[in-house]
Structure 1
Amino acid sequence: MKPLGRHDPRAAGRHQLIALIGQGAMGRVLLGRSPDGRLVAVKMIHRHLARNPEFRARFRLEVQASQRVTGAYTAAVMDADPEAGEPWLASVFVPGPSLRAAVDQYGPLPLGGLRLLTAGLGSALVEIHRAGMIHRDLKPSNVLLAQDGPRVIDFGIARALEADPQITSTGTLVGSPAFMSPEQASGHELGAASDVFSVGAMLVMAATGESPFLGASAPQTLYNVVHNHADTSRVPAPLRPLVDACLDKDPARRPDPRQLIDSVVSISGRSGWPTEIRQQVARDRAEAERWVEAGGAVPDESPRHTVRWVAAVVVPLLVVAGSITAFLLGRGDPPADPLANRTLELTDEQLRLTDTCALLGNDVVGKVGQPVKPELADSSVCGTKFVATDGRQAQLTVAVGTAVAGKPLGERVAGRSMLDTTAGPRSCGRAVAVRDQPALGVEVRISDADGDTCTPATDALTAIVTRLVTNAPSVNPPKQSVVRLIPCESPDRNVLDSRVGAAVPAAPIDAHTCTWAGVPFVVTVHTAEGKRVDLDPKYTRFLVNSGPLGDLPAARRIDSDGTCATYHLVRPTIEDRGEQIAVTARPTAPGAAEAACAATESVLGGVVARLRSL
């Protein structure tokens, strides 16, 4: 926590404000004390955002939803003023880590902790559904582990059970993909059973440390939620039947919240959090009380009062469209530069497997602007509309493992020279290279924006590089995923020699693309997740006869210069996306155009064979 700044208010309604817990692009969260002495967490929207009628309307709906829900296992809303110049919401301060932070730091919960978590979540859902609401965004970061049980927070995207289907099914994807229900991931109308599915997914994560549906990308994750069955083999046996029932794809077959509570009665053992979590709850409570005792001044930091700070979520935070993410509590002192004496180093495998969309999360780029909905363009590229701190909207795109080339700026970030890769008006690009020949690296581009775009682009690149240096996010695709393929090693060398000439060297283009410049063809292989071309009427669909591999469904495009591109869909992911292998043959000799498509088919067969051998 930090002391209040000069411009921070000292009160919100009747609540005295004590300290700053955290802040982001949408607002800040402050520690407060109500007139009866209880501690409160006050979420306050930035004044300039409050001038946006749509944003204020969404916050007003969040307040209404939060006030409808009461109960022992939710963080009760005590007061709110959505009409204030800086709209605010005060809820009971809950000391303790989020479920996500607790599992990340201390590991999976033992059976006693799972028993308490199950009963608490069931009780919370009883209260939420009794109030006529569906939460719609139950996930580990929205569950706080208080001393006596879990607390469900974040009603930013909750909706009434009796709401018009047009309100709950507008085609806009809201929520967290890894913990959505199949009906939510598919954009269908939701019922109370959707929240039960989310609880099942959280119980798997709490028991194993891993999300049961997390894929290589958001589209892959959504596909897994809709079509794949979770592996619950590592969930403790007494809890496994209940978890399997919660994760049934058919909402009608899932248990109701009261059955969640009843199910733990037969589980032997004492309910309760492990010692490490109980100790953290006590530390968080003591820290808040010290700030209150100090009256907002910096508390005594003598050795007997030193508290080890941990990544604990104690309050809901602001994100765009009224949804809420988690802040990580930091030290009161200015944090050390995480890039000091550090150099950004990424192996070729890390370049292929980096989760680019995770780099556009609020926890990474929140100081630059608020990401709206990151969307994967290609395995290396993810983009999002975002709201800058000045309220303007723009497009923010990050690429990892792509070719970077630009003018050195004289600045360095994580030991790497920063490059200016700007191309075109109303945009700015910033990049760093992490390897040479070819120069591959990390690039950030801000486009469709007016005013200064280079300052936020530089800040975004620094934030993204910091995440890559300290805790690089990576995808976990299936074993036989095109994302895992090393493109320069994927074709059959004998086939290549027959098509481009013997001993033509492989030349990597980016993390997912390789080319062989020979005669009579230049052959290029690209292995990544992207937009499916078999759905595009500009491409001709057909079957490639690949002998023992069988017939491979494919789509083809032939350019005016005779270049032939053949695409094979390995697996669909979600909506119009899929994992694909693309082989292109560009003629470099007279008369070669007629054989270009045959060349792509033969090379494709070798790549598919390599993929199936993984």
Structure 2
Amino acid sequence: MPRLVAVLCALLVLAGCAGTDLSKQPPSARSTIPAKDAADAVATSTGAAPTGTAGEGPVDPAFAVDKLRLIDPCALLERDLLAQLGTPGETSRSGFSRCSNFMKDKNKKDLAVTVDVGQSLTAELNNAKKQLAGLKSHEQVLPGSACFVSVITQEKPGLGITVQIGSKEDEPCAPGRVVAEAVVKKLKTKPSPVTPAKGSLLTLDACSLPDKAAVTAAAGTQARTYPYGLHTCSWLGDSEEAGLDFRLGFVPRDKKFDPKQTEVDLGNGVVGYQVDGSTAFPTCTIKWVQRLASGDEGETVEVKSAGPSKATFNRCERAQALAKAVLPKIPRP
């Protein structure tokens, strides 16, 4: 049980929001999974293929992770598609792989449609009893509130696409199936990949970027590798854990991501913003800005070192060492 708790803590730490305004977002599928299912998902993940490249791979070449990383999720929510459900609003992107459209259904009621590309779906895979667009699928329903329609694109590790429908209708899954089927079809026939900007993190594999020596120094000789989605990776040892996360989201003009942050020199003119958290599961986080996009949006890199309070290693020293190890491997803008 202690090992299971440690794994669960690591995944929750790594799955934090990327500066998104959640007041307009439908609830996350993972946030609504019952505690027992979440524990089952983590227990299953510890026995699955632990790397981003091992396992059975995608069920169709169209869903290879290197192709999914290049997908603009907002391009999947085509207006002609959403018009079948009502009156589309404006699309709103959050992160590399998530996009929403807050629209009106045919009865002029609020309808939120969100697509997430490349989600880790271990729990959903274990309960995928349906078929949609030729793929295994799973539906989670919150009556009168939301439905999450997930299709499985890869089984080891479990990966897929989730369409979230936020609606007060009694049957919110019906529009979710329509959108999910159209998304799968587009990815197979007309994916229209984007061209990454110079220095973008978009195409990088977080699990393969650090070399073995850096991973060992960060999480111990027995560390195992666990991908999470398309842009996050964690390494779990016996009593130490590390993580690497590539994000697209809000970047404050003054770079004040956290009121408790301190600046650290990572070399090559890069300033990191470090937060040393003293909780029941102490974690040290270092974030830096990779590139600025439009407005107040940009790409950031985040590294973490964590472990139970009884583990006495210096988390910030390890986070800094991991940051300095991966920094030279990331293309500069």
TM-score, normalised with respect to structure 1? 0.41
Specify the alignment match of 1:525 in structure 2: 244
Aligned pair partner of 1:411 in 106, 117, 131: 131
Matches within 5 A, 1:250-265: none
- Measure, in 1, the Cα distance between the counterparts of 2:62 and 2:266: 40
Aligned pair partner of 1:374 in 85, 91, 94: 91
How far did 1:541 drift? Answer: 4.0
Aligned pair partner of 1:514 in 221, 233, 243: 233
Instruction: Tell me: CA distance 1:369–1:565, structure 2 relative to 1, closer, same or farther (3 Å).
Output: farther
How far did 1:554 drift? Answer: 2.3
Aligned pair partner of 1:569 in 279, 286, 289: 289
Larger strand share, 1 or 2: 2
Equivalent position amino acid for 1:498 in 2: A
Matches within 5 A, 1:531-546: 531-532=250-251, 535=255, 538-546=258-266
1:501 aligns with 2:220: yes
How far did 1:429 drift? Answer: 0.7
Q: Deviations over 1:7-49 (max 9, x none)?
A: xxxxxxxxxxxxxxxxxxxxxxxxxxxxxxxxxxxxxxxxxxx
Between stretches 431-440 and 501-510, larger displacement belongs to: 501-510
How far did 1:550 drift? Answer: 3.3
- Measure, in 1, the Cα distance between the counterparts of 2:250 and 2:192: 23
Asked whether the 8 Å contact 1:491–1:604 carries over to 2, the reply is no
1:393 aligns with 2:89: no
Specify the alignment match of 1:317 in structure 2: none
Percent of aligned positions with the same letter in both sequences?
23
Aligned pair partner of 2:65 in 348, 364, 374: 348
Aligned pair partner of 1:586 in 306, 320, 327: 306
* Secondary structure of 2:320 counterpart: helix
Asked whether the 8 Å contact 1:438–1:509 carries over to 2, the reply is no
Asked whether the 8 Å contact 1:543–1:551 carries over to 2, the reply is no
Q: Deviations over 1:195-237 (max 9, x none)?
A: xxxxxxxxxxxxxxxxxxxxxxxxxxxxxxxxxxxxxxxxxxx
Asked whether the 8 Å contact 1:364–1:467 carries over to 2, the reply is no
Asked whether the 8 Å contact 1:365–1:463 carries over to 2, the reply is no
Instruction: Tell me: CA distance 1:410–1:519, structure 2 relative to 1, closer, same or farther (3 Å).
Output: closer
- Measure, in 2, the Cα distance between the counterparts of 1:470 and 1:360: 15
* Secondary structure of 2:75 counterpart: helix
Specify the alignment match of 1:428 in structure 2: 147
* Secondary structure of 1:463 counterpart: helix
Select the structure with the greater relative contact order (CA < 8 A; seq sep ≥ 6): 2
* Secondary structure of 1:375 counterpart: strand
Matches within 5 A, 1:434-453: 434-453=153-172
Aligned pair partner of 1:474 in 174, 193, 197: 193
Equivalent position amino acid for 1:351 in 2: L
Q: Deviations over 1:164-205 (max 9, x none)?
A: xxxxxxxxxxxxxxxxxxxxxxxxxxxxxxxxxxxxxxxxxx
How far did 1:425 drift? Answer: 5.4
Larger helix share, 1 or 2: 1
- Measure, in 2, the Cα distance between the counterparts of 1:445 and 1:516: 29
How far did 1:613 drift? Answer: 7.3
How far did 1:596 drift? Answer: 1.2
1:384 aligns with 2:104: no
Equivalent position amino acid for 1:460 in 2: V
Matches within 5 A, 1:38-437: 345-404=62-121, 405-406=123-124, 407-413=127-133, 415-422=134-141, 426-437=145-156
Equivalent position amino acid for 1:567 in 2: K
Specify the alignment match of 1:600 in structure 2: 319
- Measure, in 1, the Cα distance between the counterparts of 2:114 and 2:62: 21
Instruction: Tell me: CA distance 1:530–1:497, structure 2 relative to 1, closer, same or farther (3 Å).
Output: same
5+ long unaligned stretches in structure 2:
1-58
Asked whether the 8 Å contact 1:345–1:434 carries over to 2, the reply is no
Asked whether the 8 Å contact 1:402–1:442 carries over to 2, the reply is yes
Asked whether the 8 Å contact 1:527–1:581 carries over to 2, the reply is yes
Instruction: Tell me: CA distance 1:431–1:559, structure 2 relative to 1, closer, same or farther (3 Å).
Output: farther
- Measure, in 2, the Cα distance between the counterparts of 1:423 and 1:556: 36
- Measure, in 1, the Cα distance between the counterparts of 2:195 and 2:92: 17
Specify the alignment match of 2:28 in structure 1: none
How far did 1:535 drift? Answer: 4.7
Length, aligned pairs only: 270
- Measure, in 2, the Cα distance between the counterparts of 1:428 and 1:531: 27
Specify the alignment match of 2:44 in structure 1: none
1:465 aligns with 2:181: no
- Measure, in 1, the Cα distance between the counterparts of 2:173 and 2:210: 41
* Secondary structure of 2:214 counterpart: helix
Instruction: Tell me: CA distance 1:442–1:537, structure 2 relative to 1, closer, same or farther (3 Å).
Output: closer
How far did 1:372 drift? Answer: 1.1
- Measure, in 2, the Cα distance between the counterparts of 1:531 and 1:611: 20
Equivalent position amino acid for 2:77 in 1: L
How far did 1:490 drift? Answer: 1.7
How far did 1:409 drift? Answer: 4.4
Q: Deviations over 1:412-470 (max 9, x none)?
A: 31x21121134575000101111122211110001153332111111111111121111
TM-score, normalised with respect to structure 2? 0.73
* Secondary structure of 2:157 counterpart: coil
How far did 1:385 drift? Answer: 0.3
Asked whether the 8 Å contact 2:222–2:237 carries over to 1, the reply is no
Specify the alignment match of 1:294 in structure 2: none
Q: Deviations over 1:269-315 (max 9, x none)?
A: xxxxxxxxxxxxxxxxxxxxxxxxxxxxxxxxxxxxxxxxxxxxxxx
- Measure, in 1, the Cα distance between the counterparts of 2:296 and 2:259: 15
Instruction: Tell me: CA distance 1:367–1:512, structure 2 relative to 1, closer, same or farther (3 Å).
Output: same
- Measure, in 2, the Cα distance between the counterparts of 1:504 and 1:429: 33
Instruction: Tell me: CA distance 1:371–1:602, structure 2 relative to 1, closer, same or farther (3 Å).
Output: farther
Specify the alignment match of 1:165 in structure 2: none
Equivalent position amino acid for 2:113 in 1: L
